[in-house]
A and B are shown apart, each in its own frame.
Chain A
Amino acid sequence: MDGNKKTMATPRILVIIPAFNEEKSIASVAHAAAAAHPGIEVLVVNDCSTDTTAAILREEGINHVSLPVNLGIGGAVQTGFLYAWENGHDVAVQVDGDGQHPPQQIGLLLDAMSRNGWDAVIGSRYARGNQIVSSLARRIGGGVLGAIIRLGTGQWVSDPTSGFRAYNRRALEYLRRNYPQEYPEPICAIELLMNGYKLGEVPIVMQERQHGQSSIQGLNTLLYMIKVIFAIIIVRIRRRR
């Protein structure tokens, strides 16, 4: 396949939905994403789920790739980027499989990206113009991470852990080769900024996740912060590719 072939007429948009044991929500999220915006294609990346996610995807005829081993969120999303690159998509949108990210707001990301000439856009829960109720620990955590990213790159990112994002083909070219496997969201933001890509944010309203629980809560928040800060330092000192 030639990854450089692309049509300029109507942008081809791929919604990437990483899924690990999301049998309860995956079908509704995938269908909602497909109907969210004209010209959208959906790809679910089944990260070696142990429940019935794979069977549901087959039965529902949802376009998907199934990883033979569990790679985690970083590896799963990167698989989507590889697919988008190889199939000539112009934009890749990342949407969580748990129903937290409203597919109806994909248009907001796409509009902001094309209007501002950004290479990547983050759907932010905390961007100006948004009023969101969130736990104090999460807000503090997000604030500290944002401050660190600003220290490293000079740009403020209000919601560095948000997984609701869109990338253009220029960013895809970089991310298909260099997407971080650990703590991908904040690290990806800092990597893109450090390598000269334009990154912006738009305020979005997220829904309560339909099923499951966030892994980042309680003491895990602190542990997550320490690990991410360490990873950011590594990114800063690592030789650029």
Chain B
Amino acid sequence: MKRWIPLIVFAVLVGFFAKGLFLNPREVPSPFIGKAAPAFTLPVVGSAEKTFSPADMQGKVWVLNVWAPWCVSCRQEHPVLMGLAQSQPVPIVGLNWKDKDREAEALLAQAGSPYAFVPDDLSGKVGIDYGVTGTPETYVIDKAGIVRMKHIGPIDPDVWKEKFEPKLKELGA
């Protein structure tokens, strides 16, 4: 019996590998998918009095884009978002995450802002509530305020077309 052990161990491993071939290790599910978007109220960049809260978007399908002025891949993504802001398939809210150097306002004034609102998450707390692992990250939130999709990393035209467009269509944006 003992001499068969290596073969049996190997056979079990092969079974797992065969299963593993059809799984995608990079796809990390967000526990927030299908749940209500965490509520918050934050001041808006460039204005002392105005605030933004997800409740303001009730009844609309919208996109929450977590970005920061110090984030390089967010700059890569910026022109893509600018293009989207022009064709306006959906409002984009840009959560300004941990902008300790207060650079967002100047940057958006200079490079243009693709955002409908720019809530200012200086402490990073809202980002934590949303489970942000790094910038940029983008959430699709439906009319009832439920998180429907999360994308990690910069959005490029292909990602938008293949991942976002079908989802937005499904949600009736």
Task: Please indicate whether A and B come from the same complex rather than being unrelated chains.
Answer: no
Chain A residues proximal to chain B, CB less than 8 Å: none
